[in-house]
Amino acid sequence: MDLPLQVIVNNEIETKRIAEKFALLLKEGDKVLLNGDLGTGKTFFVKNVCVKYGIDTVTSPTFSIVNEYTGQKKIYHFDFYRIKKTVELFDIGFEDYMKDREAIIFIEWAELVPEVLPKKCYTIQFNYINETKREIFIKKNE
Ligand X SMILES: Nc1ncnc2c1ncn2[C@@H]1O[C@H](COP(=O)(O)OP(=O)(O)O)[C@@H](O)[C@H]1O
CB of 15 to Mg ion, least distance (A): 13
Pairing of strands 66-70, 31-35: unpaired
Site for Mg ion in 52-81 (CB under 5 A): 60
C-alpha distances out from residue 64 to 38, 41, 112, Å: 17, 18, 16
Report DSSP state, residue 87.
H
- Tell me how far, at minimum, the Cβ of 10 lies from ligand X, in Å: 7
- Give the alpha-carbon dihedral of 113, 117, 119, 121, to 10 degrees: -110
Site string for ligand X, 104-123 (x = CB under 6 A): ----x---------------
Strand duo 121-128 + 31-35: pairing: parallel
Interface residue with ligand X among 39, 54, 93, 118 (CB under 6 A) is 39
* 123 contact, one of Mg ion, ligand X, none, CB 5-8 Å limit per kind: none
User: Cα angle vertex 42, ends 41, 45, to 5°?
Assistant: 80
- Using CB positions, name the residue nearest to Mg ion: 43
Residues 6+ apart with CB under 8 A from 6: 135, 136, 137, 138
Shortest Å, Cβ 79 to Mg ion: 6
In the set 35, 43, 67, 123, which binds ligand X (CB under 6 A)? Answer: 43
Residues that bind Mg ion (CB under 5 A): 42-43, 60, 108
Residues that bind ligand X (CB under 6 A): 9, 11-12, 15, 36, 38-44, 60, 108, 132, 134
